[in-house]
Structure 1
Amino acid sequence: MQSLTRPFGQLHVQIDGPNTTPTVVFANSLGTDLRLWDQVLPLLPQGLRFARYDKRGHGLSDLGGGNQIDDHAEDAIALIEALNCGPVVFVGLSIGGLIGQRLASKRPDLLRGLVLSNTAARLGTAESWQARIEAVQSQGLEALAEGVMQRWFAPAFLAKPELALWRNMLLRTPPEGYIAAARALAGADQTAATAKLALPCLVIAGAQDGASPPDLVQATAALISGAEYQLLPDAGHLPCVETPQAWAAVVSPFLQRHCHD
């Protein structure tokens, strides 16, 4: 188990692979932790170093702020600099993708490429996030759980026993951490900045995604010059969980092209 010291406390980090190889950094979604990527890592090109971390207020990371997307981008910057590995490919899903867009805008020198999965330059509205925050404050995450599962997963996955594990992961997220990240999402609009990005970019959507619908994801891909867009027909919001082979099959060629000089 590893951690990175940040001004708010400890950021939980897990690193797999040799220190001398190109690095891929993964940022997960709201209400999940770094186990989100467990199924896809063995399917991606080997001989790379994979670095995952729990956002502040999620998983094993400490609580502490995180009300702005810049807070989370600064954590990603600190992690990449601490890895001392040169530029990386950054993979972000949902809020992780917004973190990746903000990181690419602030520090393009740290990136070889960007994978944006099930995300957009803006997710939801300030009003919709405020309503969710108020629901968590008054009723807890349990009140949201059923709706979140419906938005996260396609019908086929909703019938599987392992759905309970993902529901438990959501429910065990500290409410303060969930609310802080929701506030960051409420204020995050990367539309203008993302339209200026000039780096290799792969954008992935799930055809059955109820949280970031394909049209929204595709519109963000259209903002980025030269971006590649891929639609996974059988996936919802978390294709690395639902359809790991299909997700890895799309991401692997991008990593093979862009992880090396």
Structure 2
Amino acid sequence: MKQVVLLHGLGNNGAIWSRTQEHWPADVRVHNPDLPWRSDGIDAWRFETDSAGRLAETLSAVPGGPDLVVAHSFTALPLLELLARRALAGERPGVAGVVLVTPFYRRDPDDFHWNMIAPLLDSFPETMSEAIRLQSGDRPVPPDLRADMARRLCEWIGPYGWLRFFDAYLNSPRLRLDLITVPCLVIGAEQDVTAPVAEARHLAADLPAGEALILPEGGHFPMLDRPRAFAEAVHGFLDRVPARLSPAA
């Protein structure tokens, strides 16, 4: 039995993966924990500066350890930080493979410009609204109510939560990707208006064992847009990842 851990992004929770549930094969055990930066848990995390350490605690709670870790959006950054930190300390990664879904990443500090801050901040409610729209499925939430819900989510996240995200994003050029040798699949989407698809391509190219899968349709939430195709892509990658040598590998 292989174990897959699904890690949601900022302001979401483990339910973001619910549509994939029926598409996992019988030989996969799926864990989808709620993280400290979930939609209703920001208060306890907003002063936290070591999100990678919090992820380490989450992953250590998986009995026997995970074979594959799938991280969406913001959470890809602390996961990469954790893997680089372990490699720098001479420790094993603790996972056989990684999938990074619609991640944020820039190669150079000079890639960040002052005039990018306001548009990125302004787009955040739209991202939350898109998640609500997709999760509502066959019972769509009226646009006005959805906008109110998205604003409420942003209020929960607040300036501290958003700054934790932005600080991790600004730190992405300093990540020691060269030390991360586990197989990594980076999934981007051509229609993603939140995390530019070019950043997924660059991240895959900069990881020593990285490969890119660019989806021609859908946006920032492929696990909601195309749950079957998403689960099949992840499972196909898992089948190609070498088995861990031991629970601590």
For the aligned pair, the TM-score class normalised by the smaller chain equals: 0.7 to 0.9
Q: Which one of the candidate residues 73, 77, 100 is aligned to 1:98? A: 77
Give how far 1:247 is off.
1.5
User: Separation in 2 of the partners of 1:239 and 1:89?
Assistant: 18
Q: Note the residue ranges of structure 2 that are not aligned, 5 or more in a row.
A: 87-91, 245-249
Equivalent residue for 1:190?
172
Give how far 1:223 is off.
0.4
Instruction: Tell whether the 8 Å contact from 2:42 to 2:161 is kept in structure 1 after alignment.
Output: no
Give how far 1:214 is off.
1.2
User: Separation in 1 of the partners of 2:40 and 2:51?
Assistant: 16
Q: How does 1:48-59 map to 2 (within 5 A)?
A: 48-59=28-39
Q: Does 1:27 align with 2:7?
A: yes
Equivalent residue for 1:46?
26
Equivalent residue for 1:12?
none
Equivalent residue for 2:97?
113
- Alpha-carbon spacing, 1:75–1:229, altered in 2? closer, same or farther (3 Å): same
Amino acid across the alignment from 2:16: L
- Alpha-carbon spacing, 1:80–1:159, altered in 2? closer, same or farther (3 Å): closer
Equivalent residue for 2:161?
181
User: Separation in 2 of the partners of 1:236 and 1:110?
Assistant: 30
TM (normalized to structure 1)?
0.72
Q: How does 1:1-261 map to 2 (within 5 A)?
A: 21-61=1-41, 63-67=43-47, 71-107=50-86, 108-122=92-106, 125=112, 131=118, 145=125, 147-148=126-127, 152=130, 162=140, 170-173=150-153, 175-188=155-168, 189-191=171-173, 192-258=175-241, 260-261=243-244
Instruction: Tell whether the 8 Å contact from 1:97 to 1:116 is kept in structure 2 after alignment.
Output: yes
Q: Residue by residue, what CA displacement relative to the aligned partner does 1:145-177 show, whole Å, maximum 9, x if unpaired?
A: 3x3368x58xx9999853659767644537353
Amino acid across the alignment from 1:41: Q
User: Separation in 2 of the partners of 1:157 and 1:234?
Assistant: 17
Amino acid across the alignment from 1:162: P
Give how far 1:222 is off.
0.7
Q: Residue by residue, what CA displacement relative to the aligned partner does 1:39-79 show, whole Å, maximum 9, x if unpaired?
A: 113212333222222232424546223456x5322121112
Amino acid across the alignment from 1:110: G
- Alpha-carbon spacing, 1:106–1:117, altered in 2? closer, same or farther (3 Å): same
In structure 1, the residue corresponding to 2:219 is in which secondary structure? coil
Give the aligned CA root-mean-square deviation in angstroms: 3.7
Give how far 1:36 is off.
0.7
Give how far 1:215 is off.
1.1
Instruction: Tell whether the 8 Å contact from 2:4 to 2:70 is kept in structure 1 after alignment.
Output: yes
Give how far 1:93 is off.
0.9
Give how far 1:199 is off.
0.6
Quick check: which one's helix share is greater? 2
Q: Note the residue ranges of structure 1 that are not aligned, 5 or more in a row.
A: 1-20, 136-142
Instruction: Tell whether the 8 Å contact from 1:73 to 1:100 is kept in structure 2 after alignment.
Output: yes
- Alpha-carbon spacing, 1:102–1:66, altered in 2? closer, same or farther (3 Å): farther
Equivalent residue for 1:9?
none
Instruction: Tell whether the 8 Å contact from 1:23 to 1:49 is kept in structure 2 after alignment.
Output: yes
Amino acid across the alignment from 2:75: G
> Higher mean Cα deviation, 190-199 or 244-253?
190-199
TM (normalized to structure 2)?
0.75
Give how far 1:87 is off.
4.5
In structure 2, the residue corresponding to 1:184 is in which secondary structure? helix
- Alpha-carbon spacing, 1:48–1:58, altered in 2? closer, same or farther (3 Å): same
Give how far 1:238 is off.
0.5
Quick check: which one's strand share is greater? 1
Amino acid across the alignment from 1:186: F
Give how far 1:211 is off.
0.8
In structure 2, the residue corresponding to 1:90 is in which secondary structure? strand
Give how far 1:88 is off.
3.4
